[in-house]
Amino acid sequence: PVKRSQEIQLTRMELPICEDEQAIMEAISENSVVVICGETGSGKTTQLPQFLYEAGFGNPESDNPGIIGITQPRRVAAMSMSKRVAQELSLDDQRVSYQIRYDATVSSKTVIKFMTDGVLLRELSGDFLLSKYSAIIIDEAHERSLNTDILIGVISRVLRLRKELSEEDKSKIKPLKIIIMSATLRISDFTQNRRLFDIPPPVINVNARQYPVSIHFNKRTPHTNYVTEAFKKICKIHTRLPRGGILVFMTGQNEISILCKKLRNKFPSDRTHRNRTVIREEPPIDEHNEYIHKGYSDRIVDHEIEELAMGENDQDYLDHHDDFDTNSEDSITEFENDVLDNEYAGPLYVLPLYSLLSTRAQMRVFEPPPEGARLCVVATNIAETSLTIPGVTYVVDCGKVKERRYNASTGVQSYVIDWISKASADQRAGRAGRTGPGHCYRLYSSAVFNDQFQQFTVPEIHRTPIEGVILQMKAMNIDTVSNFPFPTPPDRDQLKKAEKLLRYIGALDENNQITSLGRAMATFPLAPRFSKMLIIGQQHECLPYVIAIVSALSVGDPFIKDYHLDGTDSDDGGDEDELVDYVQTKELNEIQKEIIFKKERRKLMRKKFFDVQKKHSGLDPTSDILKFLNVVGAYEYSGGNEKFCEDNFVRTKAMQEIHKLRGQITKIVQANCQEVDVCIDPKMKPPSAIQLEALRQIIAAGFIDQVAMRKDLVDGMTKTFSSTRGIAYSTMWTNEDVFIHPSSVLYHGKPPDFVVYQELQRTNKVWMKGITIIKPE
């Protein structure tokens, strides 16, 4: 018997999918695979698990006693959706749970489990039958994330096995049900792929009452400054158009913060702020703004990560990769002065929305805005299909998305902001038509849309390193990866490169069969090279350090990049905010004093930042990676408090994740290698000289294929250098010269002969990041 509150009962009734409950449940009972297509917001994610639950799935006494599993490409969706479903069913989080890499609420009582697709993939290598599940819902399949694609392939095999085994003895194991859910109709890669499913699964289209959305293209396409364009557009909508929420698509956290700040200044949501104060030291702290204030300190920047294996979707991290932001605040400010003051506009309730925002802050988009205020959510493409924001009438779409591009043959990756696909643009527009007719303002011209937008987004498997999944698949005894039923198979070169790399690090033998080392590596939820470092890390009692290093490398550089220290990119020229107020109030002297004061403070902060970097690099800076080790050790030593993070310019959220991952890896090591004795010692001593040497070797072994040699040595001449600036290195994967990134601790020293690097990244040049010196014998 399900208990639902009156209010929830009523909102549920309005969801289009509830009309199809019976048809859906019939299809599921008659078929092992069912595909459900339905517009974002039609109720797929929140309702399907409940349909299954009410039909007896997850009930030990029923025919389908196993739990109901739902996968999500994004962590935030896994967490927030499990909360929502728990609430709708009036069950606690032990029964309706989630599991993501760092965190879980699952228990022995769990009946509905939301998880990232990476989590389920890892479970598969331990239990290929997925015997604890009765149904698996694969959500957001249209996104075509790497893990989702692989999961669908693997599960098609699990399905057969479960069927065969249950036919042998039904009392032992029951068949499994698969539900694939998509927000678009582009599903032929799943339904028409005979290698995947020999009987094409039935497709149920949820008839979402979608209201018409008028599309307005810009006459011209602004080349760089779409943040400014967006700001202007929002101002116009808010001052001139009737009520209705605004949803704005931007590409990353930095842009979102800038835009939110500007909007909040222009249209304070609390009326008492309408007479703007001249200098505001603190962001407003009315109720809904308080977390944005907090957001200042854990603003996340430059978060490249090397976590390529079975971790969570990259998307979570992309939001924070702000190396290449082209948008500045300048031109927004210009425009700000133009908006006529006699155009009355009520308060605007501005909320940011991106993956790493705390769940609590994310949940606010579901709450109604304060009385009389208009809701304006500024989001990444997380709002494209994963989360549905109620009450949106206007969509402002910059037409861009941030993506990691990866060149499989050279290993060089770059983060680019590029045009979305036509399909994405339509999804975004569709967000305006959920509750009534809407409008979508595209900040690009129809010519650009027609000529430069691809029809569909390229599946992730074609643009990302796949060695992690290949190893995982080998560990599931899927030997011939080339025969695997990928929805869209990766190209041969990419498969070959992945296998080559796995051979290099000893995970595969010369016949590409998994080795025992490879099997051991596959037990860790990490990129294969990190797993290798752990496995060889037992010398000289180095394991606790290696665990800390690998955790930090998996989460990504925890340091805040210096120029973001006070949240602005501008080196000088003061804060635009103040300049606006300066013009408006003409209180020159006071203002000037303030500006000078702020500049001085920024200078001081910057000096402190570099001092911290030096401190963590040690007296002998030989490795960026050992710098991470040092800061992780110091953080634990401090008891893991926020003050430490602030003083040391590291991101609190990253440090917390590193802490959690350390705990998890320690547990896995304890479980797998009974002979070693590891625990997390909060007062871990810094490594000795011998240990440091060993750690450098372990790091080198993990990155054995990523050695770079100074170019003059390759050429046979030895020069002497006074700095690393402009000194070229050669690597084995690419013919291009590569350089030491300015953020490296090695940048200011002499250029070493040999280094290993953690990653190559292209901006104007190809840069090495995460560098460690290899000391010659």
How far is residue 551's CA from residue 664's CA, in Å, rounded to a whole number?
9
CB of 10 to ligand ADP, least distance (A): 12
Under rule CB under 6 A, residue 15 binds ligand ADP: yes
How far is residue 757's CA from residue 703's CA, in Å, rounded to a whole number?
7
Closest to ligand ADP by CB, 15 or 146: 15
- Dihedral (CA of 481, 482, 483, 484) sign: positive
CB of 228 to ligand ADP, least distance (A): 30
Which option in Mg ion, ligand ADP, none does residue 84 bind, with CB closer than 5 to 8 A by kind?
A: ligand ADP
> Which of positions 297-356 make contact with ligand ADP (CB under 6 A)?
none
Q: Which of 769, 557, 523, 549 lies closest to 661 in space, CA to CA?
A: 549
Under rule CB under 6 A, residue 46 binds ligand ADP: yes
CB of 41 to ligand ADP, least distance (A): 5
Under rule CB under 6 A, residue 40 binds ligand ADP: yes
CB of 143 to ligand ADP, least distance (A): 12
CB of 739 to ligand ADP, least distance (A): 45
Helix 146-168 crosses helix 467-475 at what angle (to 10 degrees)? Answer: 10
- CB burial of residue 368 (10 Å; 0-12, 13-18, 19+): exposed
Q: Give the contacts of 655 (CB within 8 A, at least 6 positions apart).
A: 558, 632, 635, 640, 645
- CB burial of residue 271 (10 Å; 0-12, 13-18, 19+): exposed
CB of 78 to Mg ion, least distance (A): 11
Under rule CB under 6 A, residue 430 binds ligand ADP: no
Closest to Mg ion by CB, 35 or 655: 35
How far is residue 279's CA from residue 29's CA, in Å, rounded to a whole number?
64
Q: Are the C-beta atoms of 487 and 152 separated by less than 8 Å?
A: yes
Report the b/e string of 34-67 with b at 16+ CB within 10 A. Answer: bbbbbbbbbbbbbbbbbbbbebebbeeeeebebb
- By CB under 5 A, name the one of 33, 36, 37, 45 that touches Mg ion: 45
Q: Which residue has the tokens 């690393």?
A: 724
Under rule CB under 6 A, residue 82 binds ligand ADP: no
φ and ψ of 760, to 5 deg: -110, 140
Under rule CB under 6 A, residue 245 binds ligand ADP: no
Which option in Mg ion, ligand ADP, none does residue 175 bind, with CB closer than 5 to 8 A by kind?
A: none
- By CB under 6 A, name the one of 37, 38, 507, 769 that touches ligand ADP: 38
Under rule CB under 6 A, residue 184 binds ligand ADP: no
How far is residue 304's CA from residue 757's CA, in Å, rounded to a whole number?
13
Q: Which of 533, 467, 524, 501 lies closest to 699 in space, CA to CA?
A: 533
Which option in ligand ADP, Mg ion, none does residue 390 bind, with CB closer than 5 to 8 A by kind?
A: ligand ADP
Q: Which residue is nearest to Mg ion (CB)?
A: 45
CB of 45 to ligand ADP, least distance (A): 3
Structure tokens at 409: 């043959």
Closest to ligand ADP by CB, 44 or 696: 44
**Where does this chain touch ligand ADP (CB under 6 A) — which range of 38-46, 246-254, 285-293, 552-560?**
38-46
- Which H, E and C letters describe 361-409, residue by residue? HHHHHHCCCCCCCEEEEEECCHHHHCCCCCCEEEEEECCEEEEEEECCC
- By CB under 6 A, name the one of 218, 388, 393, 554 that touches ligand ADP: 388
CB of 213 to ligand ADP, least distance (A): 16
Q: Which of 503, 525, 523 lies closest to 514 in space, CA to CA?
A: 503
- CB burial of residue 8 (10 Å; 0-12, 13-18, 19+): middle
Number of residues that bind Mg ion (CB under 5 A): 2
- By CB under 6 A, name the one of 390, 485, 567, 663 that touches ligand ADP: 390
**Where does this chain touch ligand ADP (CB under 6 A) — which range of 34-42, 255-263, 277-285, 393-401?**
34-42
Closest to ligand ADP by CB, 12 or 276: 12
Binding region for ligand ADP (CB under 6 A): 15, 38, 40-47, 80, 84, 363, 366, 388, 390
Binding region for Mg ion (CB under 5 A): 44-45
